[in-house]
Amino acid sequence: MLRRGLLLLAAPLLALAVALVISSIALLLSHHSPLSTYSKMVSYGVCSKAFPDAPCTAESMVSILDRAVPYFLSALAVAIGFRMALFNIGVGGQYHMAAVLAAGLGAAVSLPAPLHVAFILAVAVVTGAMWAGIAGLLKVTRGVSEVISTIMLNFIGGGLSTYLLVTFFKAGGSDNLSGASKTLPTSAWFPSLNPLLKALGLTAGDTDLYGFAIVAIVVGIGYSILLQRTRFGFDLRASGVNPWAAQASGVAQKGMVVKTMLISGAIAGLVGMPHLLGFAHKYSNDFPAGLGFTGITVALLGRNRPIGMVLGAILIGFLERSAQVLDLNGIPKEIVVIMQGTIVLSVVVAYEVVRRAEVAAAERAVRRRLDSDDGPDAGPPPEPQASAAVPV
């Protein structure tokens, strides 16, 4: 199984190497040194050193992790759909709807601290699930592709959340120019992990490390257990790789579509929570956008595996954070966009290459083993495997 582990690592490393080569070409074409650019990015991204003689702090690390938490949650929401061959493109709409209702209703009640947070999370989870559930219902009752309906629900969700904000949840006061909702009371704030940083002797300036990272890790573990250890997860994965076989085995496909969309939406509802509960404490029109699409990228990078998606989320966070130092050095920070794009493309290609290598290796292994067992009497070679589906 060591071989298999190496193959698993080979794909992302190969992809990263290809992305570095292509980005280097782009840098050379614009007359910048690739090596010095990368070293600046690393020293800023790892050590927060904007200049060579600046002190090394954990500020960048914290910023990268804070970016990674919502990306990871978003990726989990996308990945559970992917595992049953459903494309939830609507994480964006789902977390916006969840965040505005969570912020609005959360500010309207007063509860003791843990209950208040739990109440807000419950609102977010239920709202996200309902919003995604619409797409699931449309698919099973009217045959509407979930790709189309979730994209449309993104627009509707964006408009509706603004409407809800302005009409019901907007805080009073003439200085509220951004139209933000009422600030949540401190009982609804999620504590940061800065005490932990301090205990480790790290300084992060005035940046808070989201405590919500803990929740994200728990959800990631839950995702893994649900898919790998439960009957429901088996039914879901079977439906994803072979819906006909799943149906013949007794999995009601329509029910599975709705349930999967509900779970995906429920996780999506959490995507805005690190920002809401850990930083802004209110919903406004400048609430972070685009987390849904980054989630798709991260799910692809991580091949729908929790550890892979954690690393993918951190990689994207690192690229975004370290891009900030490039402008200071007169290097166009768009180079990071090129890197992200090439990484995703080469990861997809590399995974396919590695998958074929795995298929060939597995077939060879079986044949070799059988040949040594009982000579040439091992039956005909395996049939061609055009349909050897890979779990996505």
The nearer residue to other proteins, 337 or 392, going by C-beta atoms, is 392
Q: Are 4 and 358 in contact (CB under 8 A)?
A: yes
Residue 335 corresponds to which tokens in the numbers above?
């180079």
Using the minimum distance from each CB to other proteins, give the nearer residue, 148 or 252. 252
Q: State in angstroms the smallest separation of the CB of 11 from other proteins.
A: 16
Least gap, CB of 334 to other proteins (angstroms)? 39
What residues line the site for other proteins (CB under 8 A)?
A: 228-235, 237-238, 241-242, 244-252, 359, 362-363, 365-366, 369-370, 373-374, 378-385, 387-391
Backbone angles phi, psi at 269, to 5 degrees: -60, -25
The least distance separating other proteins from the CB of residue 368, rounded to whole angstroms, comes to: 9
Of 128, 178, 159, 156, which is closest to residue 282 (Cα–Cα)? Answer: 178
Query: To which residue do tokens 């070679």 refer?
Result: 381
Residue among 35 and 365 whose Cβ is closer to other proteins: 365
For the CB of residue 236, give the shortest distance to other proteins in the complex, in Å.
Answer: 11
Least distance (Å) from other proteins to the CB of residue 247? 6
Structure token pair of residue 23: 């980005």
Q: Which is nearer to other proteins, 172 or 250 (CB)?
A: 250
Q: Which residues of 77-116 are buried (b: 16+ CB within 10 A; e: fewer)?
A: bbbbbbbbbbbbbbbbbbbbbbbbbbbbbbbeeeeeeeeb
Using the minimum distance from each CB to other proteins, give the nearer residue, 135 or 251: 251
What number of residues does the chain have? 392
Residue 73 CA to residue 156 CA, distance in Å, equals 22
Distances (CA, A) of 175 to 93, 179, 180, 381: 28, 9, 10, 76
> Cβ distance 96 to 160 under 8 Å?
no
Query: Closest approach of Cβ 112 to other proteins, in Å?
Result: 33
- Nearest residue to 340 via CA among 19, 40, 96, 106: 19
Nearer to other proteins, 341 or 391 (CB): 391
